[in-house]
Amino acid sequence: MLPDAAIDAVWRITNHPGTLVEGWYDDIVASITPHQYVELVGIVAGMNAVDRFADALDLDHLRLPPPRPGAPSQEGPDAVVTTHWVPTVERGGSNVLAALSAVPTAWASSRPIASAHYVPEDKVVGDLSWNRGILSRPQIELAAAVTSFANDCFY
Amino acid sequence: MADGAGVRYGREIGDLVRAAVAGDQQAVASQRSRVETMLGRAAMVDTLAVFANFSMMTRIADATGTPLDPGSVDISAGLRAGLGLDSLTSTRFQEPGPAVSGR
């Protein structure tokens, strides 16, 4: 069973991401560890992408695979709180790219989603004219900006 | 061609994304049909793919307290000060503003 704080975080991140404040985060990590929270964010954010894509196309949600036995590895880099609320590892690039860096598997899970649905990571700023031959890059960026605005995204 | 931030078919793309964020299935179906008619089925799916990715990225950013990037801090200082954005938590906590003329 998930702790109440984790359930609250899942609900709040899913439904009201634009209302999250540091005091709320502090309350959550009083009950779960910052690394557990980062892993949770990665899972919730990724599932929001997959499920909302299905909903928008009126498709069935993907079924989750069965859980595997075993304890979490607890392995990860040394991460400290510097720029974000959560601990991060210096990796260069934009701040959002470092947001999940304390839990490398959470970060790695988000990359295929971003590359397939948006733009491959090396093309985001490395090739501002890149597109996959469907929408133009300005059309892609407009869809991105409208989504961020409508979600009340501070970043 | 309809305008939307000066982007070709930007209005249609923006309307589809806004409907998807709102989760209004009837509006989404209507806007999907509109974009598919004007830009094609692949463009409709691609628009919703971008929407899906930024449904993820906005949550990662806002849930981790991701700050503005160094390159964005200075150039946005005047804008943020003028609009009071540095003390804004969410538009959901604000009183509705006056109607904007012409809209």
Lowest mean pLDDT among B27-31, B62-66, B73-77: B73-77
Q: Tell me the percentage of chain B whose pLDDT exceeds 70.
A: 81
Q: Any alpha helices (H) in B1-103, and if so which ranges? A: 10-22, 25-39, 41-63, 70-73, 77-83
Burial class of residue A104 in the structure, from the number of CB atoms within 10 Å of its CB (0-12 exposed, 13-18 middle, 19+ buried): middle
Say what the pLDDT of residue B95 is.
56
Q: What distance in Å separates residue B33's CA from the closest CA in chain A? A: 11
Say what the pLDDT of residue A51 is.
97
Contacting residues for B47 by C-beta, under 8 A, at least 6 apart:
A135, A139, A143, B13, B16, B17, B35
Which of B14, B20, B50 is facing A118, going by the closest CB pair? Answer: B50
* B84 close to A (CB below 8 A): no
Say what the pLDDT of residue A123 is.
86
pLDDT in tens, A46-91: 999 999 999 999 999 999 899 899 988 888 899 999 999 999 998 7
Say what the pLDDT of residue B88 is.
67
Burial class of residue A86 in the structure, from the number of CB atoms within 10 Å of its CB (0-12 exposed, 13-18 middle, 19+ buried): buried
Interface of A with B in 94-133 (CB under 8 A): 94-96, 98-100, 110, 113-114, 116-118, 132
- Yes or no, beta carbons of A116 and B49 under 8 Å apart: yes
| pTM of this structure | 0.88
Token pair listed for B75: 């150039």
pLDDT in tens, A101-125: 999 999 899 999 999 999 998 888 8
pLDDT of B97 above 60 = no
Q: What distance in Å separates residue A41's CA from the closest CA in chain B? A: 6
Q: Domain segments of chain A: what residues?
A: 4-64+76-150
Lowest mean pLDDT among A35-49, A105-119, B40-54, B69-83: B69-83
- Euclidean distance between CA atoms B86 and B67, whole angstroms: 11
pLDDT in tens, A23-39: 999 999 999 999 999 99
Say what the pLDDT of residue A155 is.
81
First to last CA, chain B: 21
Say what the pLDDT of residue B3 is.
53
Higher pLDDT, A64 or B102: A64
CA distances from A50 to A56, A61, A128, B2, B3 (A): 10, 8, 25, 30, 29
- B-chain CB neighbours of A114 within 8 Å are 53, 56-57
Say what the pLDDT of residue A81 is.
96
The amino acid at B56 = M
Mutation target for B interface from A13, A25, A52, A124: give the one with most B CBs within 10 A.
Answer: A52
Q: What distance in Å separates residue B36's CA from the closest CA in chain A? A: 12
